[in-house]
Amino acid sequence: MAKGKTTAFFCKECGYETSKWLGQCPGCKEWNTFVEELVTKKTKGLTGKNILESKPVAINEVDAADEERISTGFSELDRVLGGGIVPGGMVLVGGDPGIGKSTLLLQVCRNLSNDGKKVLYISGEESVKQIKLRANRIGKFNDKMLLLCETSLDTIEEQIKVCNPDIVVIDSIQTMYREEVGSAPGSVSQVRESTNALMQVAKGSTIPMFIVGHVTKEGVVAGPRVLEHMVDTVLYFEGDRHAAYRIIRGVKNRYGSTNEIGVFEMRSEGLEQILNPSEFMLEGRPTDASGSVVACLMEGTRPILVEIQALLTRSNFGMPRRTAVGTDYNRVNLLMAVLEKRIGIQMGDFDAYVNVAGGMKISEPGLDLALVIAMLSSYKNRVIEADTIFFGEVGLAGEIRAVAMTDQRVAEAKKLGFKRCVLPKVSMDSLKDTSGIELIGISNVKEAQDLV
């Protein structure tokens, strides 16, 4: 083996390093995650000058003025980023293959270049001609948009210094490599070293960077978990690749909230942002079918109205089926048990199918009341008025509990033309504007049954 090089074992989940293979990682407690890789020993240390340059600063002396953010040209993406791109920030974009990550970033590059920003798009997966073919489908680009097909980090760092761009896009981080690291591109060592090198360039030159990351079959970014710790913002691009819409969700953001989402629609010319997702989600809903209700949910600071569908049929087998699409399966079972216990409805011999229309995945507790109403509507075969919305949390005692941001939910319902809102009675006193919509407060599931 060459002098200065040795092997070590790295955890694929957290990046923990050890000299021998271990069954369980001491850092993250995961099993069978260690891989052996070739590493290079670096003996260069800090000089006296470097040590003297690094010294603590009093917190009151730090300038706390907000830096001017750069707009991406998409208000939906700006919201998820916390108001726009932060100079020197690193944004990791993950998602399934074919979901639209590269297309979205290419559109962002077009918007930025049209605003006079110099953009450098670095691809390790496509040739210049392949990117040009995709760009022709998206729209017209100007000379501010630069393309580079390269995987060597040394070359990339040198080209960034020469071009001095305003924005850099790396597609993707798993294809980048540094020659000093002996392992293959995409390995734990290469991904960690590549991200660290790009981070130093971004922070040192205040150049914002977008990094595309592949995801595993479990839906998490491939490579070590330390990759997500190193970047400033982690965005996940979600949605069925066969469906029309896509959702970009922030799971980590040092410069803003992680509860925001952006909604896009995939079209032949690229991704188009949906400024009113509630209206988009409610298109084509039935108005004369039992088991169909509309719920108002919160995604960060944004209220979204979705259709909840439930179908209860008598089971022909000894073990009734329970199916939930778009919400927690166990939550559906819990609410059915509450209905059986608190109002005496026997659902033990009924198959139950629950669906959140449109393919959304909802985990907010404000969905509980809409699920209960939908199941009661299907059980009794009663149609719920199409201009009524529901929201509220249901407890094990059958009580309807308050949820956050009641005013925003009611305002969104009024904006879309709903005439009636059923909500927890304890939340009615906190409402500021009650004009233009009828409010019905209920306190338990018995009142919900009487309402149906």
Query: Is position 4 annotated in a ligand binding site?
Result: no
- For 263-284, the pLDDT digits (tens) are 898 888 889 999 888 888 888 8
Q: DSSP readout, 60-111?
A: GGS--PPPPPBP-S-HHHHHHHTSSBPTT-EEEEEE-TTSSHHHHHHHHHHH
- For 251-255, the CB contacts below 8 A with 24+ separation are 252/228, 253/80, 253/81, 253/82, 254/89, 255/81, 255/82, 255/83, 255/86, 255/89
- Do both 402 and 431 map to the same domain? yes
Mean pLDDT throughout 345-357? 90
Q: At a CB cut-off of 8 Å and minimum separation 6, what does 373 contact?
A: 293, 384, 390, 422, 448, 451, 452
Output the six-digit token pair for 445: 């599931």
pLDDT score for 221: 67
- For 59-76, the pLDDT digits (tens) are 888 776 667 899 999 999
Query: Is position 95 annotated in a ligand binding site?
Result: yes
What is the CB-side half-sphere exposure of residue 382 using CA atoms within 13 A? 14
pLDDT score for 40: 61
Domain-located, residue 50: no
pLDDT score for 371: 96
* 275, 298, 331 - which closes a domain: 275
> Sorting pLDDT into bands at 50, 70 and 90, what band is 317?
confident
The whole-chain average pLDDT of the chain stands at: 87
pLDDT score for 64: 63
Domain-located, residue 60: no
Count of the separate structural domains present in the chain: 3
- For 185-221, the pLDDT digits (tens) are 877 778 888 888 999 999 889 999 999 988 766 666 6
- Do both 379 and 234 map to the same domain? no
Phi-psi region of 173 (alpha: psi -120 to 50; beta: other; left: phi over 0): alpha
- Do both 239 and 225 map to the same domain? yes
Sign of CA dihedral 13, 18, 20, 25: negative
Q: 327: closest CA among 297, 348, 303, 291?
A: 297
pLDDT score for 370: 96
Domain-located, residue 32: yes
183 alpha-carbon distance from chain centroid:
31
Query: Is position 101 annotated in a ligand binding site?
Result: yes
Is residue 301 within 8 Å of 259, Cβ to Cβ?
yes
Domain-located, residue 57: no
What is the CB-side half-sphere exposure of residue 290 using CA atoms within 13 A? 12
- Do both 293 and 212 map to the same domain? no
Range(s) of the domain holding residue 225: 69-275
Query: Is position 99 annotated in a ligand binding site?
Result: yes
CA 308, CA 371: separation in Å to the nearest integer? 7
CA 266, CA 243: separation in Å to the nearest integer? 8
- Do both 425 and 383 map to the same domain? yes
C-alpha to C-alpha distances, 36 to 42, 113, 189, 192, 410, nearest whole angstrom: 19, 43, 10, 15, 56
Mean pLDDT throughout 239-245? 72
CA 411, CA 389: separation in Å to the nearest integer? 12
Flag whether pLDDT at 19 surpasses 90.
Answer: no
Query: Is position 102 annotated in a ligand binding site?
Result: yes
Domain-located, residue 301: yes
- Do both 439 and 377 map to the same domain? yes
pLDDT > 70 fraction of the chain, expressed in percent and rounded: 91
Flag whether pLDDT at 1 surpasses 50.
Answer: no
- Do both 248 and 290 map to the same domain? no
* 275, 306, 332 - which closes a domain: 275
Return the minimum-mean-pLDDT range out of 37-51, 104-118, 152-166, 436-450.
37-51
Domain-located, residue 53: no
- Do both 152 and 92 map to the same domain? yes
Query: Is position 167 annotated in a ligand binding site?
Result: no
* This prediction's pTM: 0.78
Domain-located, residue 58: no
- For 100-146, the pLDDT digits (tens) are 899 999 999 999 999 999 999 999 989 999 999 999 989 889 999 99
Q: Return the CATH number at 264.
A: 3.40.50.300
Three-state secondary-structure class, residue 32: coil
CA 369, CA 377: separation in Å to the nearest integer? 12
Query: Is position 387 annotated in a ligand binding site?
Result: no
- Do both 107 and 189 map to the same domain? yes
- Do both 344 and 265 map to the same domain? no
Query: Is position 96 annotated in a ligand binding site?
Result: yes
359 vs 388: which has the higher pLDDT = 388
- Do both 171 and 116 map to the same domain? yes
Phi-psi region of 73 (alpha: psi -120 to 50; beta: other; left: phi over 0): left
- Do both 262 and 312 map to the same domain? no
